[in-house]
Structure 1
Amino acid sequence: MNRQRRRQMAENYLVIWVDGNINMENEDCQNTLAQLRGVVNDVNPCTTAEQCIDKLQENSEETSFVISSGALGQHLVPEIHGMPKLDGIYIFCGNKQRHQEWAKDWPKIKGVHTTIKSICEKLAIAVKQCNQDQVTVSIIGVNEGGSSEDLNQLEPSFMYTQIFKEILLDMDHGQQAIKDLVTFCQEHYKGNKKELKIIDEFQRTYEPALAIWWYTRQCFTYKMLNRALRTLDGDIIIRMGFYLCDVHRQIEDLHSKQINKYHVDLKLTADDDQQLRRLTDRIAEEIGGSGWYRLGKLLLQIGQFDKAEELYTTLLEQASNDSDKAHLYHQLGMVKEKRGEYKEAISSYEKYLKIKRKTLPEDHPSLAATYNNIGLAYNNMGEYPKALEFYEKAHKIKEKALPPNHPDLAQSYNNIGSVYNDMGDYLKALEFYEKAHKIFEKALPPNHPDLAQSYNNIGSVYNDMGDYSKALEFYERALKIREKALPPNHPDLAQSYNNIGGVYNDMGDYSKALGYSKKDLEITKQALPPNHPDLATTYNWFGKIYRGMKDYPKALENFEKCLSIRQKALPENHPDKATTYSDIGDVHRLMGDYEKALSFHRKALNIQENVQC
């Protein structure tokens, strides 16, 4: 997640206090804020209803509470009452009788209050109830025979938290880890005297034997760890890694002494689903290595690219031998590629190859993955002959070194198929995609993410061929796997929503197309940098949908957002830029502005004449 664009939350809840008379230089306002932060740290003062609505929409995935003045509340409540993650509204006013009459019509209003103390008491009860209702993420099995009613909801978090746990338990955590967490918490809880006092106590008195005691205290340790595990926030999990390990080991110790009545909410979901266990083991195996290197791979796997880059850059600065440096250049290349920075990715891969070629021949098996990744970067840049050159180089190496049903060979077929698909040779693309799919079906568990990508690839060919029912069939298979196998904010999920939305758009079902595209945008804005090409693709679909709905101003707005990103992220003559110029020209034509339409179509034509196919 790009923390430049999205405020990082360390707890589960957001409180918005909205009142036209808020003035933070006023002592009463300062006292009110301090009391609210004693219950929930993240309190956002707003002076208008519009500011409140914006805050709720920006944090639509977080459980929220609103405290509103009576005057603003009458206009605000009808606007926000239907928001699914809004848990409760508290009216704070000087005239209780005046506002009780209208307030009773809205079930989410939890009372009309004349003192902040009574609101804090009610809010504390609501937060406690929400904590109990939250789906907890598993750390260790206390009840071996237990089962989960929410297994489908827990699967992605279960898998990746389990792998996180295994990695963290395998690492050394010194005293510096405690100091780093304390510094982070002091910054996060700045101004919250109650919590800062507890953090100071933690710094002075914490020891591993007190880990569970600190968790059951339900202070910052409880709030932060619960949210980090629920949302799979890699940053917080890493910061609290030492503490998570201490809790785990203490529970294990208590369990070995058969003190089974000691209940802690950090309990492991039942491990008796064999299909899920198989998938977890497979992904854990793929995230090989040890210590920080393994952690970096996991961060890449779950889409936390900024954190992975930060980790790999630090390790590169500390690397003392060529072997470690080469590996880290390769991993940084993967990070850059995932973020849509293709030229930088190729540069990192070439640094890797420069080191490796000192000791290895051109066709050594360990170089195949890098040739493959360079091919992917060129493909994304629209340089198809270059992409094909590197993909085929990787494929020849793999054919010699691997058995015919190896998943890496399937990935090679996939990659070559993708170039043919982008070049418009759909039958050739389908031939390679189906070769890959046959291998994946034999070699992988049925819910493996690579199998989802295979379904997705086949769906894309059928979509480009205009066979929308077939495309939808394969796209929905891909989505079904990804919903089970990936965290809820993973970019690949956004890709699935985008693809399905695109098919519905092509079929003329614009309401369904819009619904899927909104899901796509919600994830993409959180998971990727603001100039990532995938975000441009999402805006492009919005433009097409609104054009189909004949809402031309909105179509133009989204196509222009798409163009703005593509101009920054893609090479000068990339085919996708030509497509966007053409789309903008088409909207201007539909709006009757033929001069502008002609100008944009000429820009598209200039690129198309220069593209090498």
Structure 2
Amino acid sequence: SFTVYRGQGLSSADFSEMVKSQGGLLSFNTFLSTSKDRAVADRLAESNADNPDLVGIVFVIMVDPSKSTTPYAYIREISYFFDEDEVLFSMHAICRIRSITPTHSNNRLFEISLSVTDDSDKDLCILTERIKHDSFSFNNGWLRLGPILHEIGYSDYAIKIYEISLSHTIDEVTKAAIYKQIGLIQVDMGEYSKAMLFYEKSLAIFQNTFPLDINCLASCYNKIGDLYFRIGDFSKAISSCKKALALQQQSSTPDRFEENTSYYTMGYAYYRLRDYTKALFFFEQVLSIWQQLLPNNHPDLALSYNSVGNAYYSIHDYPKSLSFYEKALTIQRQSLPSNNPDIATSYNNMGNVYCRMGDYSKAHVFQQKALSIQLQCRPSDHPDLMSSYRNIGSIYIETGDYLKALAFFEKAHAICLHLLPANHPDLISEYELIGCIYYQINDYSKALSLYEKALTIQRQSLPENHPDIAASYKKIGCAYYMMGDYVKGFSSFEKGCKTESQ
């Protein structure tokens, strides 16, 4: 084995991300020029450390030729810089970040210890398998172009390539694979009915292919399950994913990623059906598999911790919920930029738990952190921003500060009005809540106006004898009563009572 050195500058932002990735993998996406002479690297790093926008870095790279398969060459004799004693590595050299330590001479100069990975590196193998799984392995070059075109936003061109290929393809398995790819694109385009047709064509071919390709068949069922979930048919989503899971369990070489897809979709389907105990079971299955397949700081692992935390939150086990949210946040702060929306989600989740536990000061701190990120990375009318405003407003309601609560709920309401039609049922709760706040601060006329708007939508979307309509009549009655209009107040109460008795 031997050691080489590289000196360079990194922006402060890139250096911060590298610190978070300590222990993980680092890929050099160009040819990597290094030197056997430490002094050469030191000079380059020190020259960059003088720039206030950069951090000086000395990479100390350990290479074991008996394990590493990364091509390299000692090029001193042919290098333009003869005195640099250069060793050149090929593109995409992958190293593990062993340690990051400051030098004693300069607080803007750091030494980063790396080791070139070998093909048996566990994390690298996992990453490679995931890339293979996410990249559809067509043999035909034109068909390989389809996923790339879709990824960069040229979905229509991708579909045209697939359609032309279908007209020239006689192999049924290849046709099934193309149908599935077209289905995936249609899903991303929101064309769910078209996507279902292509998924079903793909499924029909795989069902009649011998020998039976269990993994491909399971993948089709998972795709159909995901589609049913998207259109809100959660029972059918569960049924389809159960078929996929049963097939995976029969396979001698099960695809663990597809297995996890089944658990994931079933977990969220049960969650939407409010069967939180079953949702928790499937979320824990997802987490167990990700813990086996992914590095400890992988963002998908953080999402899984959040899912388990959500299930515990929904069954009111707040300490366990908080524990899983904290694990998710720890990973996200190591692996994601500080303004990533997923971090905002974790802050939001933790704020909700603290609110439920009655610790409103901590709840407020975390919800403010979530809001700060949302304001940086979301458009002003994004639903996540609306949720953040509501969550902070709810904390102020719990602490009795109705004026501050009103300010945040009105911001949320403005977004809601922008996103939804004027008579959308989701606006009912908005009008009722803001109306209640106005009632609490003794502005009864505004409360009355909002209660009446809620009632108008309710009468359009609910049966006349629905208990929510009865409740709205009574709220309107209370507002009239507090305004001194006892006749209208009594009339509204009477309507509420009649509605209840129907």
- Identify which of 194, 199, 203 aligns with 1:353: 199
Matched, 1:458 2:301: no
Change in Cα spacing, 1:543 to 1:425, as seen in structure 2 (3 Å) is same
- Identify which of 127, 130, 144 aligns with 1:286: 130
- Identify which of 532, 535, 540 aligns with 2:390: 540
- Identify which of 3, 9, 12 aligns with 1:134: 12
Q: Is the 8 A contact 1:333 1:349 kept in 2?
A: yes
Change in Cα spacing, 1:502 to 1:571, as seen in structure 2 (3 Å) is farther
Structure number with larger C-alpha Rg:
2
Deviations 1:385-415 (A, max 9, x none): 4544444454444444476893432342233
Change in Cα spacing, 1:296 to 1:522, as seen in structure 2 (3 Å) is farther
Change in Cα spacing, 1:392 to 1:494, as seen in structure 2 (3 Å) is farther
Q: Is the 8 A contact 2:364 2:392 kept in 1?
A: yes
Q: Which amino acid aligns with 1:559?
A: A
Q: In structure 1, how many angstroms separate the alpha carbons of the residues matched to 2:347 and 2:261? A: 23
Q: Which amino acid aligns with 1:371?
A: I
- Identify which of 321, 325, 345 aligns with 2:165: 321
Matched, 1:271 2:96: yes
Q: Is the 8 A contact 2:431 2:451 kept in 1?
A: no
Matches within 5 A, 1:580-599: 580=430, 582-592=432-442, 593=444, 594-599=447-452
Deviation at 1:478, TM superposition (A): 1.2
Tell me, what secondary structure is at the counterpart of 1:271? strand
Change in Cα spacing, 1:426 to 1:329, as seen in structure 2 (3 Å) is same
Q: Which amino acid aligns with 2:96?
A: D
Matched, 1:517 2:387: no
Q: In structure 1, how many angstroms separate the alpha carbons of the residues matched to 2:375 and 2:143? A: 27
- Identify which of 231, 244, 262 aligns with 1:412: 262
Matched, 1:471 2:321: yes
- Segment drifting more, 436-445 vs 466-475: 436-445
Q: In structure 2, how many angstroms separate the alpha carbons of the residues matched to 1:510 and 1:577? A: 27
Deviation at 1:132, TM superposition (A): 5.8
Deviation at 1:457, TM superposition (A): 1.4
Q: Which residue number in structure 2 is paired with residue 125 of structure 1?
A: none
Deviations 1:233-265 (A, max 9, x none): xxxxxxxxxxxxxxxx9x98968967656799x
Q: In structure 1, how many angstroms separate the alpha carbons of the residues matched to 2:298 and 2:151? A: 22
Q: Is the 8 A contact 1:540 1:580 kept in 2?
A: no
Q: In structure 1, how many angstroms separate the alpha carbons of the residues matched to 2:392 and 2:251? A: 45
Q: In structure 2, how many angstroms separate the alpha carbons of the residues matched to 1:312 and 1:460? A: 34
Matched, 1:504 2:354: yes
Deviations 1:304-341 (A, max 9, x none): xxx946244443455432458645534435645xxxxx
Q: In structure 2, how many angstroms separate the alpha carbons of the residues matched to 1:490 and 1:479? A: 11
Deviations 1:506-535 (A, max 9, x none): 334444434433443454466566665444
Matches within 5 A, 1:209-608: 260=84, 271-273=96-98, 278-279=122-123, 281-288=125-132, 289=135, 308=151, 310-319=153-162, 320-322=164-166, 326=179, 328-332=181-185, 335=188, 344=190, 346-347=192-193, 349-350=195-196, 352-353=198-199, 356-357=202-203, 359-361=205-207, 364-379=217-232, 383-401=233-251, 406-524=256-374, 533-549=383-399, 550=401, 551-564=404-417, 567=420, 580=430, 582-592=432-442, 593=444, 594-599=447-452, 602=455, 603=457
Deviation at 1:460, TM superposition (A): 0.8
Unmatched 5+ stretches in structure 1? 1-130, 138-148, 169-225, 227-248, 300-306, 337-343
Q: Is the 8 A contact 2:74 2:87 kept in 1?
A: no
Q: In structure 1, how many angstroms separate the alpha carbons of the residues matched to 2:148 and 2:323? A: 30
Q: Which amino acid aligns with 1:479?
A: L
Q: In structure 2, how many angstroms separate the alpha carbons of the residues matched to 1:608 and 1:254? A: 79
TM-score normalised by the chain length of structure 2: 0.57
Q: Is the 8 A contact 1:426 1:465 kept in 2?
A: yes
Deviations 1:548-570 (A, max 9, x none): 452133132233045236527x9
Tell me, what secondary structure is at the counterpart of 2:287? helix
Change in Cα spacing, 1:347 to 1:455, as seen in structure 2 (3 Å) is same
Tell me, what secondary structure is at the counterpart of 2:420? helix
Deviations 1:156-209 (A, max 9, x none): 9x86x849x49x9xxxxxxxxxxxxxxxxxxxxxxxxxxxxxxxxxxxxxxxxx
Matches within 5 A, 1:20-39: none
Matches within 5 A, 1:81-160: 134-136=12-14, 151-154=18-21
Q: In structure 2, how many angstroms separate the alpha carbons of the residues matched to 1:554 and 1:252? A: 65
Q: In structure 2, how many angstroms separate the alpha carbons of the residues matched to 1:497 and 1:292? A: 44
Q: In structure 1, how many angstroms separate the alpha carbons of the residues matched to 2:434 and 2:459? A: 13
Q: Which amino acid aligns with 1:426?
A: Y
Q: Which amino acid aligns with 2:202?
A: K
Q: Is the 8 A contact 1:585 1:598 kept in 2?
A: yes
Q: In structure 2, how many angstroms separate the alpha carbons of the residues matched to 1:453 and 1:353? A: 27
Q: In structure 1, how many angstroms separate the alpha carbons of the residues matched to 2:251 and 2:435? A: 50
Q: Is the 8 A contact 1:429 1:461 kept in 2?
A: yes
Deviations 1:124-144 (A, max 9, x none): xxxxxxx7653547xxxxxxx
Q: In structure 2, how many angstroms separate the alpha carbons of the residues matched to 1:605 and 1:598? A: 12
Deviation at 1:578, TM superposition (A): 5.9
Q: Is the 8 A contact 1:482 1:492 kept in 2?
A: yes
Q: Which amino acid aligns with 1:349?
A: A
Q: In structure 2, how many angstroms separate the alpha carbons of the residues matched to 1:365 and 1:520? A: 38
Q: Which amino acid aligns with 2:263?
A: Y
Q: In structure 2, how many angstroms separate the alpha carbons of the residues matched to 1:604 and 1:256? A: 83
Deviations 1:68-94 (A, max 9, x none): xxxxxxxxxxxxxxxxxxxxxxxxxxx
Q: In structure 1, how many angstroms separate the alpha carbons of the residues matched to 2:130 and 2:348? A: 27
Deviation at 1:473, TM superposition (A): 0.6
- Which of the two has greater strand per residue? 2
Change in Cα spacing, 1:555 to 1:133, as seen in structure 2 (3 Å) is closer
Q: Which amino acid aligns with 2:276?
A: Y
Q: In structure 2, how many angstroms separate the alpha carbons of the residues matched to 1:555 and 1:460? A: 24
Unmatched 5+ stretches in structure 2? 1-8, 32-53, 55-69, 99-114, 167-174, 209-213, 467-502
Tell me, what secondary structure is at the counterpart of 2:265? helix
Matches within 5 A, 1:9-24: none
Q: Which residue number in structure 2 is paired with residue 35 of structure 1?
A: none
Q: Is the 8 A contact 2:263 2:285 kept in 1?
A: yes
Q: Is the 8 A contact 1:414 1:432 kept in 2?
A: yes
Deviation at 1:357, TM superposition (A): 4.7
Q: Is the 8 A contact 2:73 2:87 kept in 1?
A: no
Q: Is the 8 A contact 1:556 1:587 kept in 2?
A: no
Q: Is the 8 A contact 2:354 2:363 kept in 1?
A: yes
Change in Cα spacing, 1:385 to 1:542, as seen in structure 2 (3 Å) is farther
Q: In structure 2, how many angstroms separate the alpha carbons of the residues matched to 1:296 and 1:492? A: 29
Deviation at 1:436, TM superposition (A): 3.2
Change in Cα spacing, 1:432 to 1:325, as seen in structure 2 (3 Å) is closer
TM-score normalised by the chain length of structure 1: 0.48
Q: In structure 1, how many angstroms separate the alpha carbons of the residues matched to 2:437 and 2:142? A: 50
Q: Which amino acid aligns with 1:134?
A: S
Q: Which residue number in structure 2 is paired with residue 190 of structure 1?
A: none
Deviation at 1:572, TM superposition (A): 5.6
Q: RMSD of aligned C-alpha atoms?
A: 5.4
Tell me, what secondary structure is at the counterpart of 1:359? helix
